[in-house]
A and B are shown apart, each in its own frame.
Chain A
Amino acid sequence: MSELKELIQNKYNNEAFDGNGSLQSLSQKGMQLFNEQGIPTVKHEEWKYTRIANVLNKDFSYAVNATAVTKADVDAVRLPGNEAANELVFINGIYHAELSSVRSSADELVILPLSEAAKGEYKSVVDANLGHSATYHPDGINAMNNAFAYQGLFIAVKKNKAVEHPLYCYYINDARSSSVLSQPRTLIHVGVNAEVFLVEEEITIGSSDSFTNRVSEIVVEENANVHIYKIQNEDSHSSCVKTTHVRQVGVSKVNSVTLTLNGGTIRNNLNFILEAPGCESHMYGLYCVKGETHVDNHTIVDNVMPNSFSNELYKGIIDENATGVFNGKIFVRQDAQKTNAYQSNKNVLLSDTANVNTKPQLEIFADDVKCSHGCTVGRLDEEALFYLRARGVGEKAAKALLLHAFAGEILDKIELEPIRKYADAIIAERLGFEF
């Protein structure tokens, strides 16, 4: 681990960010906290089931400017529907304008380096929101990203605009010559009455290890509508910690769907901070994993103001030696009366070496609330299986049919058709579903 610490410290000292204001102080605080905390061990309650130190115990390079990635490389990984999308390409954590294509006009969508946004018209937005996730994740991992947040990207969706072209974000790691560490950082501001679709995918090119430590902070203003879709389908040598921190500062609606199909160690932090009365949030997740994949979904719904509604459904299909971890926290603050918060986690284990650790958690300080959580771990319903077998469906096909239906509940929540079809095709193939 000392190598990683050294790597981060050297980079920090060599680059010496010479700005000032919120970026500078966040960077300093991040570095300080990282030095103090280091990489969390399993003794850290938030990292109890995920040995992140084992993932980071490798010889990474942290070279953000290595851009051997060509347009052809990007073409090979584009998601379906890209012809009608704004495509933002990040290489080793850094946004590359020349590889990206922005179709929306500048009066809809603004894309700026964070360091510039922190000076101009968006200064107040950056000052108020950048680094807000640190209060919820006071650990070395988040701090490590904060230390280099000045290399991040700022995206603004202008008010009263529904962005027609969805935003496809490709986070590409170039691991062809050496193991790579990348730390993408974004701050997204969605203005009043605006609507936007975000699709995010991590891609590693090459066969060396990669580790992505991404932090995305999203600020949602009044009456805005945001859809966040994440697809995680990488090789087993690619690991990541992804923090998506959503602040709903006005009455707004946010949908999130996280699909995890393959990878090394994957940790998703998804936070919803409901800061205005009457917010609505939906969080859906599907992890369909096998091999040695370790997927860990940590979610937080923090109800600060009254009359909010949140609904969370995470489903897991775990096969072979894979591990699924779920920790869902719902906080209801004292002022957040009349909150309705629901949470559910359902897991199907397909092998005796598969593992599930789940911890749904409610912390409630207001009395006039309706909150519930439930979680299940089990096999496929024997009776449903029998029903299908009795009607002449083979065992394998029957299982695939049931599992596909199990997954379908989540896939149906994706409102972008090309993405839903794409995800469905991968899941169907994985499950051997041929109807």
Chain B
Amino acid sequence: MSEMLNTLEQTALSEYKYGWVTNIEADEAPPGLNEDIIRFISAKKNEPEWMLEWRLKAFRHWLKMEVPRWPNVKYPDVDFQAIKYYSAPKQKKEISSLDEVDPELRATFEKLGISLDEQKRLTGVAVDAVIDSVSVATTFKTQLAEMGIIFCSMSEAIKEHPELVKKWLGSVVPVTDNFYSALNSAVFSDGSFCYIPKGVRCPMELSTYFRINAAGTGQFERTLIVAEEGAYVSYLEGCTAPQRDENQLHAAVVEIVALDNAEVKYSTVQNWYPGDKEGKGGIYNFVTKRGICAGVNSKISWTQVETGSAVTWKYPSVILKGDNSVGEFYSVAVTNNHQQADTGTKMLHIGKNTRSRIVSKGISAGFSQNSYRGLVNVGKNATNARNFSQCDSLLLGDKCGAHTFPYIEVKNSTAQVEHEATTSKIGEDQIFYCNQRGLDTETAVALIINGFAKEVMNQLPMEFAIEAQKLLAISLEGSVG
């Protein structure tokens, strides 16, 4: 609590904390999108022919698709021809040790609090740092490699483990899936690849930090996590981005495959630049995240804390194909000023005895709009499927909106599906109770919000939980009073 108070005080007058631009000579493609650009990206990355074909297939399909209009968000149309699709920090040779990393780049990470040096070992975090689309350095790789775990950048994976990438890439989110995933498939510049072999329990939390850096560049990350039979991994993804005036597009794709008895836990803290107080600028975050519980007794769990981005459009989903598989979704979405978020999940029950749990907490303040949109689908053969969903919304101020769009489709009589949602504001009696005990109103509100989000925060790994709590407070700064 005291930590939170400090943070509130510190940030009371501060602008967006992570708003600075690193000056690294970028190696980038001209703005615009056509087959040549895709060939350029593919060539730049020394990709094999099949990868180029895969990208082109996605691009050709993308050309036929329309921008989705159904999300409950409003924003000016994105000019896809004005975006630079490739931007890589200049790099003279292959990097084998941390010492060779550009010192300026390393300083960037220091500012963000990610040190790429061995201190990280103490925190047990292996970081695959991504700056503007290219993985620069990976730590703990050797240690992981000894256990057979592959944790590397996507471009490296394409070169070194083509059979794995070929087998799994696009298996959960096909290239034709939706507008932004097709775009991502065509132009993704890099991302993370994680493979946990049979029976291995990954001993540390794997983590990627995203950064959006050069002006006018789109960020198209591609993440693929494969957990073989009996494997376990916890994966963290966190983001901060420098301050920009123009809207930037981010269209990432994350795919997770969990085979028999495997478990994958994916946690996200998203804190991209949300635009200024007038709603100018900010990141467009249009992300496709999907996991498949392909094997029996497998489990995929999504936890997200969404505080940033001007427009968010994101539905981490789980396909529960294996019998007895489990899907979970825990989310806190905070919107302030003119932010808009349309986020939720999809739980597709296919196998027998599948279970899913959805806990979504939306907090809206200022002029923001916050929507939960979710689908629970129980198929014909999903005997004894079980779902529980809870969506709570908290409104701070009378200019914001909270919306709930849950879709529930059941085709099996043995299914048990429950959904509940509430919308309310912080009760005056609650504030009064806190005031009476010597807490000022702002502290009281922070306390109540913390309690409101606790159910989700508890799901985050320790390292993230602290950062996430700070973020909550920062994001809502100035919205109460």
Contacts and interface: CB of A to CB of B under 8 A. Distances in A.
A14 B421 CA distance: 51
B385 to A, nearest CB: 10
Interface in A332-371: 334, 337, 347, 349-352, 354-371
Nearest to B425: A367
A374 B402 CA distance: 16
- The listed residue with most B CB atoms (<10 A of its CB), out of A358, A360, A367, A374, is A367
B419 A374 contact: yes
A341 to B, nearest CB: 9
B409 A357 contact: yes
Interface stretch (A28-36, A103-111, A116-124, A376-384): A376-384
A355 B403 contact: no
A283 to B, nearest CB: 18
Contacts of B423: 362, 364, 369-372
Contacts of A354: 411, 413
A351 B408 contact: no
Interface string A227-260: 0000000000000000000000000000000000
A373 B405 contact: no
Contacts of B200: none
Nearest to B377: A357
A377 B410 contact: yes
Interface in A75-119: none
Contact of B403 (A45, A352, A362, A370): A362
Contacts of B407: 357-359
Contacts of B397: 367
A341 B412 CA distance: 30
Contacts, number: 114
B402 A364 contact: yes
A125 B393 CA distance: 39
A375 interface: yes
B201 interface: no
Contacts of A337: 398
Interface string B136-166: 0000000000000000000000000000000
Nearest to B370: A364
B404 interface: yes
Nearest to A347: B410
B414 interface: yes
Contacts of A361: 403-406
Contacts of B70: 45
Contact of A363 (B396, B400, B401): B401
B33 to A, nearest CB: 27
Given A349-B412, A371-B422, A371-B423, A376 B417 contact: yes
Contact of B413 (A350, A357, A370, A374): A350
Nearest to A339: B423
B404 A377 contact: no
B79 to A, nearest CB: 27
B49 to A, nearest CB: 38
A359 B395 contact: no
Interface string B176-193: 000000000000000000
A367 B421 contact: no
Nearest to A371: B423
B401 A355 contact: no
Nearest to B418: A376
A369 B422 CA distance: 10
A359 B408 contact: yes
B421 A360 contact: yes
A352 B403 CA distance: 32
Interface in B173-227: none
Contacts of A350: 413
Interface in B419-445: 419-425
B416 interface: yes
A365 B409 contact: no
Given A376-B417, A378-B416, A368 B398 contact: yes
Contacts of B393: 362, 364
B109 to A, nearest CB: 40
Contacts of B406: 359-361, 375
A223 B333 CA distance: 42
A351 B404 CA distance: 29
Interface in A158-196: none
B58 interface: no
A373 B415 contact: no
Contact of A334 (B398, B409, B412, B425): B398
B39 interface: no
B340 to A, nearest CB: 14
Given A367-B396, A371-B423, A374-B419, A352 B404 contact: no
Contacts of A347: 410
Contacts of B411: 354-355
A336 to B, nearest CB: 10
Contact of A356 (B400, B404, B408, B424): B408
A428 B41 CA distance: 69
Contacts of B60: none
Contacts of A377: 378, 408, 410, 415-418
A358 B408 contact: yes
Contact of A362 (B380, B404, B425): B404
B110 to A, nearest CB: 41
A46 to B, nearest CB: 12
A349 B403 contact: no
A351 B413 contact: yes
Given A45-B70, A357-B407, A373-B404, A362 B421 contact: yes
A375 B407 CA distance: 10
B127 to A, nearest CB: 40
A363 B373 CA distance: 12
Nearest to B369: A365
A362 B405 CA distance: 7
Contacts of B405: 359, 361
- The listed residue with most B CB atoms (<10 A of its CB), out of A347, A351, A372, is A372
Contact of A378 (B401, B415, B422): B415
A413 B356 CA distance: 35
A366 B396 CA distance: 10
Nearest to B376: A377
B369 to A, nearest CB: 9
- The listed residue with most A CB atoms (<10 A of its CB), out of B70, B396, B410, is B410
Nearest to A368: B425
A361 B398 CA distance: 20
Contacts of B409: 355-357
Interface string B383-396: 00000000001011
B241 to A, nearest CB: 30
- The listed residue with most A CB atoms (<10 A of its CB), out of B396, B408, B417, B423, is B423
- The listed residue with most A CB atoms (<10 A of its CB), out of B397, B407, B413, B421, is B413
A370 B424 contact: yes
Given A357-B408, A371-B424, A363 B403 contact: yes
A367 B393 CA distance: 10
B74 to A, nearest CB: 14
- The listed residue with most B CB atoms (<10 A of its CB), out of A358, A364, A374, is A364
Contacts of A367: 395-398, 400, 425
Given A374-B419, A378-B416, A364 B408 contact: no
8 contacts: A357-B409, A369-B423, A371-B424, A373-B404, A375-B419, A376-B418, A377-B408, A377-B416
Given A352-B380, A378-B415, 6 more contacts: A337-B398, A352-B412, A361-B403, A361-B406, A371-B424, A376-B417
Closest 10 CB pairs of A and B: A349-B413, A367-B395, A378-B416, A374-B420, A377-B417, A362-B404, A371-B423, A372-B422, A356-B410, A367-B425
Interface of A: 45, 334, 337, 347, 349-352, 354-379
